[in-house]
Each structure stands twice: as structure tokens, then as C-alpha cells.
Amino acid sequence: MSDPAAAPPTIAHSGQRALVTGGAGFIGSHLVERLLHEGCEVTVYDNLSTGRGEFLENARRDPRLRFIEADLLDQATLTTAMQGQDVVFHLAANADVRFGTQHPRRDLEQNTIVTHNVLEALRIAGVQRIVFSSTGSVYGEPNVFPTPEDCPFPVQTSLYGASKLAAEGLIGAYATGFGLSAVIFRFVSILGERYTHGHVFDFLKKLRSDPTSIEVLGNGRQRKSYLYIEDCIDGILRAHWAEPGEVRIYNLGTDEYCTVNDSLGWICAELGLDPVRRYTGGDRGWIGDSPFILLNCGRIRSLGWQPQVSIRDAVVRTLHYLCTNDWVLEHP
């Protein structure tokens, strides 16, 4: 992994007070551990709707960790929690891109409206810095690959992407209107330990239920980029610690991609299985699925960051984690 200590030391981080929304989630809990390791005081704000108390087992041994179990729709509790913070890492979200059309209001509420609540709490409490997890899904179906942050103005194709774009817009407007400093990350899908949804999770569950045959969404030739969780955390902190600006936006992914078939092949090889593959067909796994995701990450690489774990290794590590943590698989 790249060495965060080598990042430009323009913002002192030891002793910095950080609030992490969604801090009991997959990405959040890794970030919390790292922030504690770096000497920060950390407040986790999580309603445990998808976050898991177990993910904070290590972190809770540290007396500098404070845990608030509350909802981001509870503006009063949120604003109180925000008092005295130096930075808010806003990671809480409905993080699954696939089911938007089945719950058309969920992304709006959990991603857009909640982000507005977080920004209002920052404004009222006088917190100056927000770090936000957006998504490469805001590019819809781009024409440029690898896709840079300033690619042609995209049209949205998923409610998830639209809700994150709306949140980005609110953050930009608050930065201009109220003088906040913001860092926005557009992630590819993240893999690794504590991963609780997505294709590795789904494939493993299906193969446990029937090792001889597996359904694959789409034609299996969708091309996707993934990033390993520790590389993701490195990127978040490197950009956060770099020279502040009004609104900085960074893609965060790898320079490689794999197909769904590639990933399934790696999973089957690890498990020693050779199931018949049944394809649902079409070049998309679901409505609004983007058949090709590959982000240009030159901007964050220019800060000295680079990913250390390949997509294949990230898939395999994720698989090993799930195989040795059945409880995650059973109760997503």
C-alpha cells in the first residue's frame, strides 16, 4: 500500500476530530480504524441499518472512539454530534445500485436528502470540511474510457447515480455558499474484508446453494473495475490530507478491469467448482447497469497514490473473508 505518512502534511491529522457517518459499514469501519491509527478522535454515527456493530470490534477498544447509534434523518442529534468536529466523512448511504427501480424513493431519501441534512448540520455546527463517497455511476454510460472527472456532462441512467450526483451538487453549492471545503470521491465498486453486498457475495451464496449451476446476470461480458478496500482508504486519506481547496473531485479505482465471467472464473477456481453458467442475457446485469466501467484516476495518482492490490487478488481476498465469516453471508 502507498504510505499515507508520505502525503503532504498540510493538515495535521493527529488529534484531528473526525465524524464518520456510516462508520459501522464496510468502508466506514476500515476508515475508522485507520483514522484511530493515525491519532484522530473518531465519532461513528450509524443507525446500523446496514452497518454492523461487529465491524467496530477492534475500533471500540480505542478510548478515542465514540459511537452514536442514530439516524441521519434525526437532524437534532446529528447537529449535536457535529459540534467540535474538524471533518466529516459522509459515507452513510444506500450503497446498492441495483434495486433503484424497485424502491424509487430510497436513493432520494438515503443519499440526497440525508446529505442535505449532513450539510445543514455542518453549517450550523461550523464544521469546515466534508469528505464524501460518491460513485462512478454518476457517469451513466460515458463515451470516454478511461473516464476522467471532467468528461462530457453525463446523463443519469440509475436512481443510485442520480441520488449521488444530487448529493455532489449540494456539496458544491454549500462549498460556494457557506465556504466549506469538500473532497468528493467517485468510487468504482470496492472489494475486501467486511464486504456485505455485490457480485462476489451473490455468487458465493448461489454456489453454496447449488455448486453445479449458477445464474449470471446479463451476458457475463460486462466490464467492471474494482478497488481493494485498503487502497480505497489510502486514497481517501491521501486526498483529504493534501492541500485543501473549495471542491476537489477524485475518481478512485484501478487502471484495470475484468469481466463478470473473469471474476466468476476466479471464484470458481478458488472454490474448486465448475458450475454450468446460465446467463440471463443482454449486455446489462440490471436496468441502469453500465456495461463498462473504467475510471481515469490520473488526478489522485498525481497526489502520489497508487493501488497495490490487483482486481483478481481483491476478488480472492473478498471470497476468503466471506468463506471464513459465514455470519456476514447469512445476515447481510
Question: Which helix (DSSP H) or strand (DSSP E) does residue 227 occupy?
Answer: strand 226-228
Q: Nearest to residue 19, comparing CAs of 10, 28, 30, 7?
A: 28
Q: Residue 169 Cβ, how far from a second copy at the closest point, in Å?
A: 3
- Segment contacting a second copy by CB under 8 A, of 3-11, 60-68, 170-178, 263-271: 170-178
Q: Rank residues 279 and 286 by Cβ distance to a second copy and give the closer one.
A: 286
- Grid cell listed for 31: 476508515
Active site (annotated) includes residue 195: no
Q: Nearest to residue 111, comparing CAs of 34, 33, 169?
A: 169
Q: Is 63 in the site for a second copy (CB under 8 A)?
A: no
How far apart CA 67 and CA 21 sit, in angstroms, is 10
For a second copy, the binding residues in 92-151 under the rule CB under 8 A are 100-101, 104-105, 108, 112-113, 116, 119-120, 123, 140, 149-151
Q: Residue 109 Cβ, how far from a second copy at the closest point, in Å?
A: 9
Q: Rank residues 4 and 140 by Cβ distance to a second copy and give the closer one.
A: 140
- Grid cell listed for 265: 472464473
- Grid cell listed for 16: 484531528
- Catalytic pick among 45, 139, 160, 195: 160
Amino acid identity of residue 324, one-letter, is T
34 CB contacts (<8 Å, ≥6 apart)? 4, 233, 237
Q: Rank residues 13 and 90 by Cβ distance to a second copy and give the closer one.
A: 90
- Segment contacting a second copy by CB under 8 A, of 30-38, 127-135, 169-177, 220-228: 169-177
Task: Tell which one of 73, 273, 287, 323 touches a second copy (CB under 8 A).
Answer: 287
Amino acid identity of residue 294, one-letter, is L
Q: Residue 11 Cβ, how far from a second copy at the closest point, in Å?
A: 21
Residues annotated as catalytic are: 160
